[in-house]
Amino acid sequence: MEWLQQLVNGISIGSIYALIALGYTMVYGIIKLINFAHGDVFMIGAFIGFWSISHWNLGFFSALLLSMIVCALIGVIIERVAYKRLRNATRIAALITAIGVSLLIEYTMIFFRGAQSAVYPSTIENRAIDVFGAQISSLSLLILGVSVALMLLLQFIVHKTKIGKAMRAVSHDAEAAKLMGINVDNTISATFAIGSALAGAAGVIFGVYYTKIDPLMGMIPGIKAFIAAVLGGIGSIPGAMVGGMLLGVVETFVSAMGFSSWRDAAAFLILIVILIFKPSGLFGKNTREKV
């Protein structure tokens, strides 16, 4: 039953990638921007959770909520200060700006607290639970449960709320949405807020699971989440969820087979294969674009 244990672990890790990937895919779906600073919002979320638990004595769920709120505000600030003026700029200008914002966040954090890593305080008792003969970590099940709950909440927001309908309208045609009375600027800011809040939650979950965080931690998970978004189909919310979990399962089974040093390479190999054989991703649609 070891395969079941590895499968649950893989889906749990993949759900972290999925939460980050949702931010990438939501922003791209609305303004066609790859927000490479998103991985660093994830890093900020991890540190807010760390300070909340270790310095302010908050519990896991309180730290998770606080991290989501602060990261949502940071996401809005990044959009208003760095990206809003580049709506009509070339894509390369927006991309370079996103990389610049990423580096600014990383080295601002290093300036104020140093580059040393921190050990996440233990707030949750981790014990093995017997499931069909497999020893499943209770922490993995908690992570999976929280991640799935947040994804379901996102689906509810997108499909059942006024702001969700506005987001779908702006994604489809921003000019038409504006003519219909939708405030496009506020809708884009709301998209950044929701995506950043999910990244903040992923940061806290990551810290609790891996127990070690540092100011440059957002780089690799951020890139892997981007790969997950491309795998599922960039711009597709269900695609980001499935892509993240698939990536986590592949990495876990690669490590279980004794190739742990190749787990990062496996993610990039998946990206190469997807770009060669199905560039639109698993849930993406091929679209024509005038150039």
What residue spans define the domains of the chain? 2-216
Q: What residues contact residue 122 under an 8 Å CB cut-off, 6+ apart?
A: 211
> Quick one: pLDDT at residue 197?
95
Q: How far is 57 from 66, CA to CA, in rounded Å?
A: 13
Residues paired with 136 in a beta bridge: 129
> Quick one: pLDDT at residue 205?
92
Q: Tell whether the model's pLDDT for residue 148 goes beyond 70.
A: yes
282, containing H or E segment: none
Global pTM value: 0.89
Each residue's pLDDT tens digit, 118-145: 998 877 777 777 766 667 778 888 888 9
Q: What residues contact residue 175 under an 8 Å CB cut-off, 6+ apart?
A: none
Q: Give the pLDDT band of residue 236 (cuts 50, 70, 90).
A: confident
